[in-house]
Structure 1
């Protein structure tokens, strides 16, 4: 009796292993995320905004650095003539101003990174939602992302929908351009 049950179990196992599960054809595609972000109008505008903002802030620091350098040159010339006490006091003052300038530069860089990081995070979330909506609308089962954090090791070029997605998100952006709230307030004051 045990042998019959054992044989029946083995037979069922073999039969079930031979059955192939029904597979569904999947519609898949991928987006080259690096290329997409290079071509996405809003991302380019965001990059340009912070590049310009960094240049403006950098010029302010550059002027302060030039002034400090000129004072340091003057200090070296006057140190002997004005005496050791004056030289020590003025040297400490200049050293403190140099340190403050370095702190200001670090603060500026941190501020730019925080501001741009927040806006970039918002932009990425928005793009992910748009891609998800695009995938649903077009009937895709999967859309993979490639780029710095590649999630696809192989894909046929026919699955690359990057240009379609870039066009779609640029069209959406053009239809509803975002303006910087600070720029709006500044324009209202003028």
Structure 2
């Protein structure tokens, strides 16, 4: 009796597994390593290079001011030793104010660079997502998952990895058109599909 129940349970499990395989077999599935995609996408590299150069240029200008300040601070130190504590207290406030201004300027520069590069990268990520959506539709995928630092897929077989395929496609599209997608066109296509 126990063997019969066990056999029936096993049979039901096998049948349900077969049905799940049939259902999941209907949809074409793949994944993209999003970190690798952004590392190898030409436009992302261009944005990174642009802000690295901008950071270096702004840093050079700030470095000159910092060197001038350091020279003035060294002179102040020598003068303070020669002229005494009263002189140092009287003239030290201006030097402290300059130091504080340099700190604020450095922080403002970093915030500006982060804000500008963040806005460009956000736009790039949105266009990549729209492109992948359109790519998935064109290639007949039911699902395209993302892996990488912030993704939730913990394991996938390598045969489902289409990262290289998509990297090649988006780099060719960027090289040809100078941009990845026209978001307005995709929104129009989405509205057409909803009407159908």
Q: TM-score, normalised by structure 2?
A: 0.76
Aligned to 2:154: 153
Distance between the aligned counterparts of 1:79 and 1:32, measured in 2?
A: 60
Using the TM superposition, give the Cα deviation of residue 44 of structure 1 relative to its aligned residue in structure 2, in angstroms.
Answer: 0.6
Aligned to 2:88: 87
Query: How many residue pairs align between the two structures?
Result: 161
Aligned to 1:122: 123
Distance between the aligned counterparts of 1:157 and 1:73, measured in 2?
A: 61
1:73-107 Cα distance to aligned partner (Å, 9 max, x none): 11111124445554223211000000000000000
SS in 1 for 2:146: strand
Distance between the aligned counterparts of 1:135 and 1:48, measured in 2?
A: 30
1:152-186 Cα distance to aligned partner (Å, 9 max, x none): 222111111001100111111111226xxxxxxxx
Aligned to 1:131: 132
1:3-30 Cα distance to aligned partner (Å, 9 max, x none): xxxxxxxxxxxxxxx9968725220000
Determine which structure has more spread, i.e. the larger CA radius of gyration: 1
SS in 2 for 1:28: strand
Q: TM-score, normalised by structure 1?
A: 0.79
Aligned to 1:105: 106
Aligned to 1:33: 34
| 1:50 and 2:51 are equivalent in the alignment | yes
Aligned to 2:165: 164
Which one is further off, 160-169 or 83-92? 83-92
Aligned to 1:188: none
Distance between the aligned counterparts of 1:101 and 1:84, measured in 2?
A: 25
Aligned to 2:75: 74
Distance between the aligned counterparts of 2:122 and 2:86, measured in 1?
A: 54
1:96-128 Cα distance to aligned partner (Å, 9 max, x none): 000000000000011011101100100000000
Distance between the aligned counterparts of 1:118 and 1:48, measured in 2?
A: 15
1:25-49 Cα distance to aligned partner (Å, 9 max, x none): 2200000011111100000110111
Aligned to 1:144: 145
SS in 2 for 1:141: strand
| 1:63 and 2:61 are equivalent in the alignment | no
